[in-house]
Amino acid sequence: MEYLRGERPPGCALCNALAEPCEDLSLVAHRGEHAFVVMNRYPYNNGHVMVVPNRHVSTLELLDDEELLSVMKLANLSVAALRNLAAPDGFNIGVNLGSAAGAGIEAHCHVHVVPRWAGDTSFMPVLAQTRVIPESLSDTRRKLAESIHGLLTAGG
């Protein structure tokens, strides 16, 4: 809600992240030819990432086959990297197309990859509208980038 109701910097937040060369500022964990992986600034859980096509389009139907394949491969790679990094019990993977579907950034489509642990929904989000994230986004980004790099160099 902070993002949805708050003031936003000019331009697309996802395009801005892609254009930012400093990973600590952009929170980009991996940059590919057609898509990238970025930490969600307002995560549901620790390790919540978004896989984003480099091209600014609002819906998956506008992606060409190479872009779509790249997004899905990076979603799969993100799952593998997060498994290695944080050993979650499961994942939520999804796309919100349009504001009616819950898209906070509806002009640039993206796929959410959210690690889940048994019992990770506690009283904090329900009563205090607060999420407990035990690690800074920059630290998680760095560890995730290392995990992705390790998988890619190992051929995974």
- How far apart CA 26 and CA 6 sit, in angstroms, is 19
User: Is there a contact between 116 and 89 (Cβ–Cβ < 8 Å)?
Assistant: yes
Which residues are known to be catalytic?
110
User: Is there a contact between 136 and 69 (Cβ–Cβ < 8 Å)?
Assistant: no
**Residue range 2-153 in CATH 3.30.300.30:** no
pLDDT value for 42:
85
Give 137-146 pLDDT, tens digit per residue: 888 999 999 9
- In degrees, rounded to 5, the angle at the alpha carbon of residue 151 between the alpha carbons of residues 147 and 154 is 135
Residue 4: pLDDT above 70? no
- Record the pTM: 0.84
Give 36-78 pLDDT, tens digit per residue: 999 999 888 899 999 999 999 999 999 999 999 999 999 999 9
